[in-house]
Amino acid sequence: MTPIRYELIKTCKQTGARLGILHTPHGSFETPMFMPVGTLATVKTLSPEELKEMGAGVILSNTYHLWLRPGHEIVKEAGGLHSFMNWDRGILTDSGGFQVFSLSEFRRIEEEGVYFRNHLNGDKLFLSPEKAMEIQNALGSDIMMAFDECPPYPATYEYMKRSVERTSRWAERCLKAHQRPNEQGLFGIVQGGEFGDLRKQSAQDLVSLDFPGYAVGGLSVGEPKEVMNRVLEFTTPLLPANKPRYLMGVGSPDSLIDGAIRGIDMFDCVLPTRIGRNGTVMTSEGRVVIKNAKYARDFTPLDPNCDCYTCRNYTRAYIRHLIKCDETFGIRLTSYHNVYFLIKLMEQVRQAIREDHLGDFREQFFEQYGFNKPNAKNF
């Protein structure tokens, strides 16, 4: 029996969005869900206890970075990632492919894998489907990702076609190299850029391999939001309805809602902690750059409609002071709020699906947040 199962609970009559349950070896979690990113086996500045307090179910860690530091062998000796980082809920590890293609200036793609340089010290490295499986098996995540090629945006049709075909061949090799299929679920990644026929080819190739779940990759890489939504509209119907669908690297509030409407169950992104470190927060009334001078004497919470630890205890003026002084506690407070905001947003999305009014919720949220205004920010 597969260690990862998806249970469909309800479909929103207004939008077609799915309410479901993702069953993993470390718990069952309602979807659609936002998964905080813990690249190096930690969600930056936040403790596992705080993440549980917020209601996080599955978090991400990064195969490439953990391979370099501390090394997958050390994590395995520690009893796997769950034991190593003291997290007893779900963990998803990506394959490392995105980092190989985004962080390394020097890389050479061959059929056997990718030759590239360590972004930390310049050492020559080689990552293949087999190596990606070896590392993730050692890490012991609940969900592993197949090793794929992450093509640049934009890319020509010819390049994308070759890339899709290679990704399909690599997916087959990943399945063969996976050593713990009864303990760890392996997801395939659908590529193809904005080309409908290539997305269809990629989906058909991967569905024929019968993965326990499927990701849509190659989005949120610089394309307009309209392109992302259009790609999702013709891609998600190609994926099995009885398996989870994961949109990789997407975390802005508008994209979470629009993705759920288009049939996505799982999302992840570094956005909440990354912008939090820069003093930017997401609130029910829109985006707030807390470093701005106008908040120096603002003794109200970050978000008057939020009940997170940060908003219950601290003011905009105090948090601005901390951020301006480079105090770590300020980064903790903004990061806590942002991650909480997205987790609670998805709770609201799930409730709207239950009540068959996600379309109405979208309109109300977009209006309140400011997405309907001309030149609105993505977050």
Distance in angstroms (rounded) separating the CA atoms of residues 234 and 223:
16
pTM score, whole prediction: 0.97
In tens digits, the chain (379 residues) has pLDDT values of 799 999 999 999 999 999 999 999 999 999 999 999 999 999 999 999 999 999 999 999 999 999 999 999 999 999 999 999 999 999 999 998 888 888 767 888 999 999 998 889 999 999 999 999 999 999 999 999 999 998 888 999 999 999 999 999 999 999 999 999 999 999 999 999 999 999 999 999 999 999 999 999 999 998 999 999 999 999 999 999 999 999 999 999 999 999 999 999 999 999 999 999 999 999 999 999 999 999 999 999 999 999 999 999 999 999 999 999 999 999 999 999 999 999 999 999 999 999 999 999 999 999 999 998 766 555 5
Residue 95 CA, chain-centre distance (Å), reads 13
Instruction: Determine the 3-state secondary structure of 61 from DSSP.
Output: strand
Cis, peptide link before residue 154, omega less than 30° from 0? yes
**Residues designated as active site:** 94, 268
| pLDDT computed for residue 372 by the predictor | 81
Strands 245-247 and 266-269: parallel
Q: Is 280 left (phi over 0), alpha (psi -120 to 50) or beta?
A: beta
| pLDDT computed for residue 377 by the predictor | 53
Instruction: Determine the 3-state secondary structure of 64 from DSSP.
Output: helix
Q: Which two tokens stand for residue 298?
A: 């603002």
Instruction: Determine the 3-state secondary structure of 12 from DSSP.
Output: coil
